[in-house]
Chain A
Amino acid sequence: MTSAFSLSAGFQRVAFAAVAGLMAFGAQAQSLPAGYPADYQALIDAAKKEGVVTVYATTDSKAAAPLIKDFEALYGIKIEYNDINSTELYNRLIAESAAGTGTADVSWSSAPDLQVKLAADGLALAYASPEIPFLPKWAVMENMAYGTTYEPMAIIYNKSQVPAEDVPQTHKDLAKLLSTKAAAYKGKITAYDPERSGVGFLMMNRDVKADPASWDLFKAMGAADIKVYTSAGAMIEKVGSGEHSIAYNIFASYGLLSIKKNPNLVMVWPKDYTLIATRVAFIPAKAKHPAAGKLFLDYLLSKRGQAIIAKGELFSIRGDVEGKETAKAVDDLLGDKARPIPVSRELLETLEQSKRLDFLNQWQAAIKK
């Protein structure tokens, strides 16, 4: 964005804020976030004309409620929020895009591999959000798909079942624990089933990428007769009840919820490396209300929206948001051990059939006792 005035950056910011403030005063209570192009108002108007934003998302509608309320208050545009799982989202999107009836305006899913595939297959609208400068490079795919959160994948354990000296602080700890005390932890370790859960597969794949010695961990899990599930809820429920003791690769947001409910549960972010998952959003090419979609996407990525995400314990991705559940706080804790899953074509590898089946065969072989 060029400026006709050669003023200092700081003064530019203040000037813009002032102008924005005046515009907000003049317009209907809109405040353009800092750094937005002057013609953004046109987008807002177009979005208002469309009148509604249809969102397909895997984030729980209750968790998303504050975001929805705030957006609606901010722009006066209604959100039609569809809370569905990642498979349903994928199915709906490709079918509706092919049928030509128009589809959602924003697709927001915690399955980054599927979202990347959809974008790579041309179902995403290319749109350069003005918030791009505030996002890490790995979280933006070709101005099409955007990572919106920064969620560590945690290990959850039940402290009444796992004595203090057994508590794994790293992946290597866990591998050692399960292989040396296989009998004590027989049937007590749980994880997503990579065969039946897309998220599970992706995470294990990224584990191997982060540390090739992950195969030893998987072998150790096999030695301890690991029980695999498709739902984090089921896993955490059973760890909480003591039927199992350790759950592996759980989204930190779930983790936070569960340790609040059950005082026996403890969450650990592995110190050798921690995978960071992100919920990916994009605007479908065949969106019915593209302008409104763009508006909501920008909102999700904006400081205001991210602050609400952080407050909702969904872990915001922006570096300039303060709070406990933010990228900043996570990075402070993990240092350089954070391993974010990039929103890029790299993820397509996991969806390639022969490679995927190979991995699964390897997995089956590893967990065989």
Chain B
Amino acid sequence: MADLAVDNLRIRLGGNEILKGVSLTLRRGEVAALLGPSGSGKTTLLRAVAGLEQPYTGTITVGGTTVFDGAAGINQPTEARGLGFVFQSYALWPHRTVAENVAYSLKIRGVAADVQRDTVQKSLDSLGLGKLGHRFPHELSGGQQQRVAIARALVYGPTVVLLDEPLSNLDAKLREEARAFLKELIERENLAALMVTHDQSEALAIANRILLLNGGVVEQAGTPQDMYNAPETLFVAEFMGSNNHIEGKIMGMSDGRASIRIGDFLLDGQARCAPEKVGQAGSAVIRLEGVHVADGSNGGQNHVKLDLVTSMFLGHTWEHLFRGPGMTIRTHHDGPLSSGAHWLHLPADRVWIF
């Protein structure tokens, strides 16, 4: 049984249809990431689950209980839904200490004072905040504040926890550590986590399932591997990973393969477009890591010679920018390259043609 189920949710805000029918299910121990550009409706969806936005149709079920049903007229207020919510800005109450912030939900539920104290301390300890209970939020670092927000959301043991861009307010180094920490926490506590993020690498790293939203609908949903390796549309392909994008004219298609002409160059690749598109303009997408520098070869199918424009040292690898007529290609390579033209190989099975 799903711990969180959303079915065909539609939300209108200020006359605009923000969510145009979204469904998802979530089970304990799973992390689902709502991914998408701004305006795609992902935060709205998250807030709707919490009861902070009002859909006009659809259903939301938490732990088997229907908390929202547009047709049946059920709409439980936020405070009755028993979810955990971590805000993007953490929303720690500035006039209360860390311990008081965390204890609040227990206080409301009438938990005895000594039990409150113990539970809160355990919760803080488990997040590495054991000695900070008496401090005020503004006295803590960003990372610490984030963990307090998490402690507050989890202390009363909800099954479903909602996170709104949990890592976006942290600086880059902290983000990597926090990413691992969050994943471990969710699995350890066996939570059903729904997370909103605009960062696809974050979604790939943490989530078991990704829902990529575009304009209020789910464009594609699947495991990170599926989303990364088998994008169904151009949008999905370009949103995930770092990509090269080449425009051209689709020449032929057969058997799941297609070819696209860019100037004099004919590129073969995986067909991801409809058969009707033969003869029309199309796009070829290939990930940066799919392109190889192939100076040893001397041309061949899916080989192209381009001029090196600039190189960037990334620490673990080099990124090189090549340009030729009708195409700009970036790729990673172990070391620097000499200026001038180089042969590049774009393997057909790494090329998607839309």
Indicate if A touches B (C-beta under 8 A). no
